[in-house]
Amino acid sequence: MRARTLMSVAVMGCVALLASACGPAKAEEDADAKNSQPSASKRAEEPSATPSTAPPTEKPSAEPPGDRPAPRTKEGAIQRYEQYLHALGREDIDTVCEVAGPAAKKAEDQGIGPCTSTYATVFQMISPAQKQALKTATVDPQRVNVRTPDKIEMPVQAVNASATFSESDLGSYTLEYLKNDWFITD
């Protein structure tokens, strides 16, 4: 087993341990609180008392536009990884778990827990300054390693952000082209 994979499993194990420390009562309280709030689609249907002059903002989709496959290029992988970084900063669990799905599935199979609960804990471990920096982070294409046309490594050193990230707090990732898009697999 590669050292990085072992380190990732160990970190994810700690995250799962922290998540389980909340206990089922806390999880139920969180679920009850979440269920009592109106959904975003319900709120969007309700007319606003004050008209807004700002253009509507839409959450970027984790899915490629239409039925077109994502570009099978280094630039396509960088764009997808930036989407993940921005979602991490926004605490957008749906997009994070979409992009990191294959890696999260491997971790779950090793007993870490489902992606949504694992990343909910990860969000709590990221400082507010780091979250803000991730929202606008970019990737330096010259620091990205193309292993094969379908496998690209994104070292933490390639992330350009207003906050500093290390291997221990963000890490490096491998993206693979699967099912017409780029996904984090390791």
Note the pLDDT of residue 169.
85
- The pLDDT assigned to 66 comes to 55
Is residue 80 a part of any domain in this protein?
Answer: yes
Residue 171 lies in domain: 3-29+72-184
Q: How many domains does the structure of the chain reveal?
A: 1
In a domain, 149, yes or no: yes
Query: What pLDDT shows up at residue 123?
Result: 93
Phi, psi of 107 (to 5 degrees): -65, -40
What is the rounded CA–CA span in Å between residue 45 and residue 48? 9
Residue, of 60 and 21, whose pLDDT is higher: 60
H/E element, 184: strand 181-184
Residue-wise pLDDT tens digits, 32-72: 444 444 444 333 444 444 444 444 444 444 544 556 889 89
pLDDT confidence tier of residue 126, bands split at 50, 70 and 90: very high
Exposure pattern of 13-39 as b/e (b: 16+ CB <10 Å)?
eebbeebeeeeeeeeeeeeeeeeeeee
pTM above 0.95, yes or no: no
Under 8 Å CB-to-CB from 13, ≥6 apart: which residues? 111, 112
- Taking the mean position of all CA atoms in its chain, how far away is CA 172? 13
The stretch 68-93 carries a mean pLDDT of 95
Q: What pLDDT is stored for residue 35 in this prediction?
A: 43
Say if 57 falls within a structural domain: no
Q: Does 13 reside within a domain?
A: yes
What pLDDT score was predicted for residue 68? 81
> Is the pLDDT at 127 greater than 60, yes or no?
yes
Q: Is residue 131 in a domain?
A: yes
In this structure, which long-range contacts are made by residues 50-56, counting pairs with CB atoms below 8 Å and at least 24 apart in sequence?
Answer: none
The predicted pLDDT at position 67 comes to: 64
Q: Residue 153 — φ and ψ, nearest 5°?
A: -100, 135
pLDDT of residue 24: 39
Among residues of the chain, what percentage have pLDDT more than 70?
Answer: 64
DSSP codes, 9-55:
HHHHHHHHHHHHHTHHHHHHHHHHHHHHSPPHHHHHHSPPSS---SP
Residue 59 lies in a domain: no
Alpha helices per DSSP H over 70-175: 74-90, 93-99, 101-109, 115-125, 128-134
Judged against a pLDDT cut of 80, whether residue 168 lies above it is answered with: yes
* Position 91 pLDDT exceeds 70: yes
